Amino acid sequence: DTEVTQTPKHLVMGMTNKKSLKCEQHMGHRAMYWYKQKAKKPPELMFVYSYEKLSINESVPSRFSPECPNSSLLNLHLHALQPEDSALYLCASSPPGTDTQYFGPGTRLTVL
Amino acid sequence: AQSVTQLGSHVSVSEGALVLLRCNYSSSVPPYLFWYVQYPNQGLQLLLKYTTGATLVKGINGFEAEFKKSETSFHLTKPSAHMSDAAEYFCAASSASKIIFGSGTRLSIRP
């Protein structure tokens, strides 16, 4: 298994909903990342997990809550989002000892 | 702080022509450098990377990039463009366990 998978592919939610995004990899990578990407912009780093511990939080609002239950799985819990949070959410992972990141296909999120 | 600059937000070339996408980084210590490609509504795919060693790096889909320390550049080239190369290209550099992305260059291919 040589890829990062993300579910769902698309998500539409209201501002009062609670939803979760899921990211999975089985490549033995020990660092995992969440990014937010707006149209025609580069990805913006949100969170970094290293060996299942949160190592970087780029001052992301608390309505985004990451979770890393094990070395293969990364979740992003969403609650009370705003329309401006609509974006492509990308997950990535990297092997131990390298900075090379491998990206998943993303979840297209629309907040109504 | 590390930064990555991509010259030209949009590059258009004819099919079969040379592709040249420019990237410069700012760092006193050469970082690891990457080129990623993003097709519409997809994630980022790693094209190639420079870590150490040979300065000419070959990647997938016929792309290559040359690391030039004296010019702090890492330009991406392909000898002959194909219609399927139309996409957004991001140059990136590693910095303190993060990747710093350039602003991206949209490559269009004219028939």
Residue tagged 């990141």 (tokens):
A101
Which residues of chain B make contact with A56, given a CB cutoff of 8 A? 97-98
C-beta atoms of A42 and B98 within 8 A:
no
Closest by Cα among A33, A49, A31, A21 to A110: A21
In our burial notation (b when 16+ CB lie closer than 10 A, e otherwise), range B27-51 reads beeebbbbbbbbeeebbbbbbbbbe
CA torsion, ordered B24, B25, B27, B30, to nearest 10 deg: -90
Q: Is the pLDDT of residue B30 over 80?
A: no
Amino acid found at B73: S
Which of these ranges, A5-9, A13-17, A34-38, B106-110, has the smallest mean pLDDT? A13-17
User: How far are the Cα atoms of A15, A70, B62 from residue A45, in angstroms, in the given order?
Assistant: 23, 21, 29
pLDDT at A43 (0 to 100): 96
Q: Report the pLDDT value the prediction gives residue B95, as an integer from 0 to 100.
A: 79
Selected for mutation to probe chain B from A54, A99, A102, A109 (highest B CB count within 10 Å) is A99
What percentage of residues in chain A have a pLDDT greater than 70?
Answer: 98
Confidence of residue A53 (pLDDT cuts 50, 70, 90): very high
pLDDT over 80 (residue B55) = yes
Calculate mean pLDDT across residues B55-84.
96
Model pLDDT, residue A97: 84
Which of helix, strand or coil describes residue A12? strand
Q: What is the H or E stretch that residue B66 is in?
A: strand B64-68
Tell me, yes or no, if B101 comes closer than 8 A to chain A by beta carbon.
Answer: yes
pLDDT value at residue B2: 80
pLDDT score of B96: 76
Percent of chain B having pLDDT more than 90?
80
User: Taking CB atoms and an 8 Å cutoff, what residues of chain B touch A39?
Assistant: none
Compute the distance between CA of residue A76 and CA of residue B99 in angstroms, rounded to an integer. Answer: 20
pLDDT of residue B97: 77
Q: Is pLDDT at A1 greater than 70 in this prediction?
A: no
Nearest to A48 among B43, B51, B97 (CB): B97
Looking at this protein, which amino acid is placed at residue A15?
Answer: M
Predicted confidence (pLDDT) at residue A2 exceeds the cutoff of 70: no
More confident residue, A111 or B28: A111
pLDDT digits (tens, 9 = 90+) for A85-104: 999 999 999 998 888 999 99
CB-based contacts of A30, cutoff 8 Å, min separation 6: A50, A51, A71, A95, A96
What is the per-residue pLDDT for A66?
Answer: 97
Interface of chain A against chain B, CB under 8 Å? 4, 6, 31, 40-43, 45, 48, 50, 55-56, 88, 90, 92, 98-106, 108
Question: B88 to chain A: nearest residue by CA?
Answer: A40
Q: What does pLDDT average to over chain B? A: 93
Check residue A38 and give its pLDDT.
96
Main-chain phi, psi angles of B71, to 5 degrees:
-105, 0
Is the pLDDT at B78 greater than 70, yes or no? yes
Query: Would an 8 Å CB–CB cutoff place B94 in contact with chain A?
Result: yes
